[in-house]
Structure 1
Amino acid sequence: MTDAPNPLLSSPALPYDLPPYGSIRSEHYLPAFREAFAAQRAEVDAITAQTEPATFENTLVALERSGELLGRVSRTFYTVTGADGTPEIQAVEEQLAPLMSAHRDAIQLDAALFARIAAVHEQLGDLDLDAESRYLVERHHREMALAGAGLDAAQKQRLTDLNQRLSVLTTTFEKNLLADTNDLAVVFDDAAELDGLGDGELSAAAQTATSRGLDGRYVVTLTLYTGHPYLSSLTNRESRRRLLEASRSRAARDNAHDNRPVLREIVRLRAERAALLGYPSHAAAVLADQTAGSPDAVASLLRRLAAPAAANARDEQAALQRIADADGIRIEAHDWAFYTEKVRAEKYDLDRAALRPWFEAERVLRDGVFFAAEQLYGIRVTERHDLQGYHPEVRVFEVHNADGSELGLFLLDLYTRDTKRGGAWMNSIVTQSALRGTAPVVVNNLNVNKPAPGTPTLLTLDEVTTLFHEFGHALHGLFATVTYPHFAGTAVYRDFVEFPSQVNEMWILWPEILSNYARHIDTDEPLPADVVERLHASEAFNQGFATSEYLAASWIDQACHTLSLDEASADIDVAAFQAAALADIGLDNPVVPTRYASTYFAHVFSGGYSAGYYSYIWSEVLDADTVEWFGENGGLTRENGDRFRHRLLGVGGSGDPLAAYRDFRGRDAEIQPLLERRGLAG
């Protein structure tokens, strides 16, 4: 290591405070974190050392100003851990996890700081504060109370120990999953085994094989969720079976990457932490500060949807079996997607795999995703080739408002690689705050297979949906306009955060958007009108399966996290526990596997969705109701976009999200549009 200054500790010099990723090395991170920890600790100590009575300015505003360096270093680092988790970065993350946990606890459990915030909270009714400032007092007071700031010294020490151990375990879970996912990538010797895939998909599989030293062979990497997009196309049943079997066995084998003991300990320690905080379960502790409010409310919604979803899935299975009978096949899980496309073709004369030539990635991005946002919100997105992301494949775009003013940066990391975790996600690298004078920098990560050089990237309709979905999160992060860093970007309740992203999916088949981006890669012909009609007609098709697999994963999450400490302390057989949970809610159809099984359920055991995976369907109630509103009010207009931006997206976390929804919609959301969308209204 040279004596050159640590770039993480230098004042931001790039536009929008974009981190200087080109000069950051893995060995820079830990020293920067240690300095940032010390800096914020000193800032908080200065708050609590004051002899003057607590005021909003000398306590809450001072707390919001603290930790600027830590926030910058953290967002820079955690962007890389998920998207380019090299062995060196993973080693840093393992060392950092307990240090970060200890630092957070030292502040969240600081009795002197909590006393000052409580003092301001007690006089809140007499203070002349704007709405966001009042909400800041309420949130800090509630969050510290829920975190355990009111516990005694011994309880706080135990809580700190639990949090540190959990931070190590969740990091281990993700590391195991990434390693086993890479190990279980399926190797095929002959292109005939991959019959049904397009040229681009074969090219990607060959390229992956070459990168692993397997020239002349084909490697199919695994997606985060149980199913795989190729299952709908592969004509070779054994290839389908191998692919699904590999997916379902991730981190559940007796090897160094086995996540079963890891998740058992996570569940037990989360239950112990909840008990320490006075809650009967981890889910109760988490949901106390979400819009749902309680595990009972979540269970009520999931059970209400599960029975009709399972019934619809059984009807769908019967339809698949009628076609499979002609092939002499008894439908199994690895056959579902393949025969679903046969039924879709028979019922709607629709082959979704054949649509890929109309979904060239660059055109979908510029003429679809960006174009929809430009039409709706007036923003303009232009690529900045002079700015560098954290990996050579990352692209950087600048976003301007309709009046030409600067809004922020958007980064796109489209392709899969061995150092990237599965799935798709958005995160903020820099967050907007009027107090700090910062503008947003956000990134979208996907896991699209990269074809050979010179070959166009053709997306599936599901991947098009993911691109629109994640950009909905990006818009939320870009548009949130707040004073205090605590409320920046997508810092909203977990069961509200998926709402803006799901709404953004509505533009995929909107006529003027679809006609602008869905053009054939060779002929530039638009997607034929009759195909579009059939796509609309088939929107509720296979929703029994889709809803069932999602609800199954949500129920597993709730089952794990509604355990009491005594229940969680038992020697749990992970597979048996999961099977019993699915039987309890009637989603134990072996042909319809859960979207995520426990050992690779990263949302829950290494992400931020523990006891919160229900959030997608909870948010979808709002989403479906919002889509109905747009349809009733003229659809894709600047007036509608501005209303949605300013009354919902722009609020960030600075107010009650359900109050913001009522301000936008004029009433609370109704569930009927969701039931109709998913074919559950009957």
Structure 2
Amino acid sequence: MKNLSALTFLMIMTTLLSGCKSKQAENNPLLETWSTPFGVPPFDKIKTEHFKPAVEAGIRLHEAQIDSIVKNTETPSFGNVIEALDRSGEVLNNAYTVFSLLNSAESNDRMQADDMEISPLVSAHNDNIYLNDRLFQKVKAVYDQREYLSLDPQQLRLTEQTYKRFVRAGALLTPAQKEQLKKINEQLSRLGVQFGNNLLADNNAFTLVIDKQEDLAGVPASIQSAANTEAVNRKMEGKWVFTLSKPSMIPFLSYSERRDLREKLYKAYLERCNRGDSTDNKQIVNEIAKLRLEKARLMGYPSYGAFALDDEMAQTPENAYALLDKLWQPSLELAKKELEEMKAIKKAETGDDSFESWDWWYYAEKVRKQKYDLNEEMLRPYLSLDNVVQGIFQLSNRLWGITFRPVSVPVYHKECIAYEVLDKDNKHLGILYFDFFPRPGKQGGAWCGAYREERYEEGKRIAPVVTIVANVSRPATPNGVALLNLDETETLFHEFGHALHSLFSQVHYAGIGGVEQDFVELPSQLMENWAFEPDMLRMYAKHYQTGDPMPDDLIEKIQRSALFNQGFTTTELLAASLSDMDIHTITEYRPIDLNAFEKEMLNGKRGLIPQIEPRYRYPYFAHIFGGGYAAGYYSYIWAEVLDKDAYEAFVESGDIFDRTTAESYRKNILERGGSEGGMELYKKFRGHEPDIKPLMIKRGLIEMPADTAARPAPLDTAARNASIRRIIGQQ
């Protein structure tokens, strides 16, 4: 019977693909079998005009597959319902995944315009699946019998997660409510695309152009050179251009003696999409907030935050708030102490201790120099991009024995590079792309994605194709070496942790490949812990010209400055997390003056000092209005509780490169995807629930024990049995 079903499916697929091809879609590489090395996307053949026809054809094919599941007259089973559903939609998924990832990394006007049509199409298609009552009844029939079907653990988990996914998508709503939900989802999809397009346009629109050398006072020569290269690329020879990308903006804010220019640059960053012009996002944010609340109400929740967190480790906004509130006051008090140190320096230099947000980076750098005899320009020569990447590779080899081999495969931009990742037995684990530098068609920030997720077909593992996209400092000259700062170095370690999560995955079904939002940052943030360990720095931090290792006195300075500026860093992170939660826990919508709402909730209610802005303001908060972190930005600090406690396992072993601990972490977390809940996976690795103390010590919120070698003891038996809410949220 399985052979007959496969043959029928093949005939349907062939008929559809041949019948639906218009002249525009003929020879569309997104609709063909990818014969590229390792099955990577055929980037060398894909053109912008291929995406929309491919997505439309993929939708039609997926509809036929769903229809085949619904019309199957056999008794609903795991194989003909749950597994069939999990295996469906590959053509659509391939096309839409490539489109979505490229639209973030290498976009253009045509792609952005097409996205206004493509994303709502895909959203409506997903609704048609999850709100299909006949399909849901088949899913429910299998779910109701799951305990009697002799399912293995992954099959049982997939069945339960599939049912839950349908319910959370509205499968239990009335027909009228389903129609209302479809309209809401379609509108949200369009608004999210428009938000992102506006932000990209605003990012690209502003430049700080300097045409006098004296206006660069204080800016290091390497930063000047990079700004000059940017100007040359923009046909502005003889000038210097600074942009709103972090690798350009932060060094200028840190070193420029021109306070007026620092103000101009930082205000441009803060006021993105907030100026009442064609790219203003305030009304879009209002509409998104209103629609999300309507959706939550439809689903039976008082707020969107309550709806979103019901499926996460935190479970409720109250638990997320409990963690944020626990950290807020000590972080803010630490930041205030940092401010007083900087104001004292400013007064000594200028006779005036007035202080604004655009002064923070400049005077923080002076504090670092004064207290620790350290500035980042001393470190950059040892943190070349090549050295950092090789350091990450060396770390991965020491922990798990994996290796990385450069490969020649199609790429979407000439600056991309690719590696084959080989396991300790030289078996193929996957392909890893890197795309490092900012450019006009790329969104800001850094992220990790997968052009193909790991899965199994007929017992054979299909390896993932993973991509790391970043915006780190370009070389100061066209043929020069990219020299990174500490933050950029840490960012690459972070994103590589996400990549390992994909590369190591051994999950048989796509439907359980993902983890909870507030668990997903654990693998990435755990990797950050190694970045500046002395033994790690000795391994990879080599001078880009001489090859000499970073001197021990510099390494010692990095260690002594570990708590530098932690009050600021933690406070701005928490402020953004609170802003996200605040707007998503409203229970009655009224038009929101976003600037006033933010000021009231952060400065008025919680006492945020005006010298610190939240990491993201609503009009450019892409994580929550243009990405997947709505009511979920708290997950970065939530997962940091996990990652700091998890790193203690390596410390307690006596060797931060301990293979046994690394293998346990790989086996119990990295390979498992979402085959179990995050807390269950964590406890299998760690042996107990997480302790918040390592996080608070790392961020300087409580003092390190007098014996610096001493570490917080593991939780006692009673604490191990306590809930995550008590440990993280209310302890």
Distance 2:261 2:209 in 1: 10
Cα 1:628/1:587, change in 2 over 3 Å = farther
Q: Which moved more, 1:440-449 or 1:634-643?
A: 634-643
2:579 partner letter: I
Match of residue 589, structure 1, among 585, 609, 622: 609
SS of alignment partner, residue 469 of structure 1: helix
1:487 partner letter: I
Instruction: Give yes or no for contact 1:225–1:596 (8 Å, CA) kept in 2.
Output: no
Q: Are 1:128 and 2:150 counterparts?
A: yes
Partner of 1:542: 565
Q: Are 1:374 and 2:397 counterparts?
A: yes
SS of alignment partner, residue 21 of structure 1: coil
Partner of 2:489: 464
Q: Are 1:649 and 2:670 counterparts?
A: yes
Partner of 1:94: 116
Distance 1:167 1:2 in 2: 25
1:305 partner letter: L
SS of alignment partner, residue 409 of structure 1: strand
Q: Which moved more, 1:146-155 or 1:222-231?
A: 222-231
Distance 1:510 1:219 in 2: 35
Partner of 1:213: 235
Identity among equivalent pairs (%): 39
Distance 1:143 1:553 in 2: 28
Q: Are 1:331 and 2:355 counterparts?
A: yes
Instruction: Give yes or no for contact 1:552–1:587 (8 Å, CA) kept in 2.
Output: no
Q: CA RMSD in A?
A: 1.6
SS of alignment partner, residue 408 of structure 1: strand
Partner of 1:526: 549
Instruction: Give yes or no for contact 1:309–1:548 (8 Å, CA) kept in 2.
Output: yes
2:362 partner letter: F
Instruction: Give yes or no for contact 2:437–2:473 (8 Å, CA) kept in 1.
Output: yes
Partner of 1:355: 379
Q: Which moved more, 1:503-512 or 1:130-139?
A: 503-512
1:614 partner letter: Y
| Structure 1 gap ranges (5+) | none
1:461 partner letter: L
Q: Are 1:668 and 2:689 counterparts?
A: yes
Cα 1:16/1:655, change in 2 over 3 Å = farther
Cα 1:586/1:219, change in 2 over 3 Å = same
TM-fit CA distance, 1:123: 1.2
Q: Are 1:482 and 2:492 counterparts?
A: no
2:485 partner letter: T
Distance 1:224 1:144 in 2: 40
SS of alignment partner, residue 434 of structure 1: strand
Give TM-score, length-normalised by structure 2: 0.90
Give TM-score, length-normalised by structure 1: 0.96
Distance 1:348 1:182 in 2: 36
SS of alignment partner, residue 410 of structure 1: strand
Instruction: Give yes or no for contact 2:449–2:467 (8 Å, CA) kept in 1.
Output: yes
Q: Are 1:516 and 2:536 counterparts?
A: no
TM-fit CA distance, 1:225: 11
Q: Which moved more, 1:453-462 or 1:204-213?
A: 204-213
SS of alignment partner, residue 529 of structure 2: helix
TM-fit CA distance, 1:224: 6.6
Q: How do 1:155-304 and structure 2 match up within 5 A? A: 155-223=177-245, 228-304=250-326
Distance 1:195 1:524 in 2: 31
Q: Which moved more, 1:90-99 or 1:607-616?
A: 90-99
TM-fit CA distance, 1:231: 1.5
1:363 partner letter: N
2:484 partner letter: L
Instruction: Give yes or no for contact 1:79–1:427 (8 Å, CA) kept in 2.
Output: yes
Cα 1:418/1:226, change in 2 over 3 Å = closer
Q: Are 1:65 and 2:87 counterparts?
A: yes
Q: Which moved more, 1:222-231 or 1:242-251?
A: 222-231
Match of residue 137, structure 2, among 107, 111, 115: 115
Partner of 2:698: 677
Match of residue 402, structure 1, among 380, 405, 424: 424
Instruction: Give yes or no for contact 1:226–1:244 (8 Å, CA) kept in 2.
Output: no
Match of residue 600, structure 1, among 606, 616, 620: 620
2:96 partner letter: S
TM-fit CA distance, 1:110: 1.3
2:203 partner letter: T
Q: Are 1:443 and 2:467 counterparts?
A: yes
1:485 partner letter: A
TM-fit CA distance, 1:4: 5.3
Partner of 1:632: 652
Q: Deviations over 1:241-262 (max 9, x none)?
A: 1111110010101211001111
Task: Say how many residue pairs are matched.
Answer: 675
Instruction: Give yes or no for contact 2:436–2:469 (8 Å, CA) kept in 1.
Output: yes
Cα 1:13/1:53, change in 2 over 3 Å = same
Q: Deviations over 1:185-219 (max 9, x none)?
A: 32222233233333432232222222323222222
Distance 1:232 1:663 in 2: 44
Instruction: Give yes or no for contact 1:184–1:250 (8 Å, CA) kept in 2.
Output: no
Instruction: Give yes or no for contact 1:233–1:353 (8 Å, CA) kept in 2.
Output: no
Partner of 2:452: 430
2:309 partner letter: L
| Structure 2 gap ranges (5+) | 1-22, 704-731
1:635 partner letter: I
Instruction: Give yes or no for contact 2:504–2:666 (8 Å, CA) kept in 1.
Output: yes
Distance 2:639 2:141 in 1: 35
TM-fit CA distance, 1:587: 4.6
Cα 1:655/1:225, change in 2 over 3 Å = farther
Q: Deviations over 1:83-104 (max 9, x none)?
A: 0111121122111011011011
SS of alignment partner, residue 494 of structure 1: coil
Distance 2:331 2:376 in 1: 23
Instruction: Give yes or no for contact 1:110–1:149 (8 Å, CA) kept in 2.
Output: yes
2:639 partner letter: S
Distance 2:380 2:287 in 1: 44
Partner of 1:556: 579
Partner of 2:598: 578
Q: Which moved more, 1:27-36 or 1:522-531?
A: 522-531
TM-fit CA distance, 1:462: 0.7
Distance 2:103 2:424 in 1: 34
Match of residue 64, structure 2, among 39, 42, 50: 42
Cα 1:335/1:208, change in 2 over 3 Å = same
Partner of 2:635: 615
Distance 1:600 1:642 in 2: 40
Distance 2:628 2:481 in 1: 35
Partner of 2:9: none
Distance 1:463 1:560 in 2: 30
Q: Deviations over 1:25-81 (max 9, x none)?
A: 011111111111011111111111122221111110111111111111122111101
Instruction: Give yes or no for contact 2:421–2:430 (8 Å, CA) kept in 1.
Output: yes
Instruction: Give yes or no for contact 1:226–1:596 (8 Å, CA) kept in 2.
Output: no
Partner of 2:723: none
Instruction: Give yes or no for contact 1:196–1:234 (8 Å, CA) kept in 2.
Output: yes
Distance 1:590 1:24 in 2: 48
Q: Which moved more, 1:141-150 or 1:48-57?
A: 48-57
Q: Are 1:56 and 2:78 counterparts?
A: yes
TM-fit CA distance, 1:320: 0.8
1:306 partner letter: W
